[in-house]
Amino acid sequence: MAYLIFARDGTSCIVLKRDSRDGAEKKARELRELGWFDVQIQEAAPARAKSDSPIKDSDGN
């Protein structure tokens, strides 16, 4: 399972990805120590399966 870490500082927002909960928690803790705020960890949504049908534009091509 992948985890996303969201964080903000005064001027920017970042999203980082970690493969384990422990890794995500460690990075979140490091970001807080560096002054980032609104640090949140969220499970990444599972990837969607690719469709076999190609996407067509408005002309049908």
Tell me what pLDDT residue 45 has.
Answer: 87
Tell me what pLDDT residue 13 has.
Answer: 96
Q: Read off the pLDDT of residues 6-47 as tens digits, 9 standing for 90 and up.
A: 999 989 999 999 999 999 999 999 999 999 999 999 999 887
Query: CA 32, 34, 38, 41 torsion: positive or negative?
Result: negative
Tell me what pLDDT residue 48 has.
Answer: 76
CA dihedral 10, 19, 45, 48 (to 10 degrees): 130
pLDDT higher than threshold 60 for residue 61: no
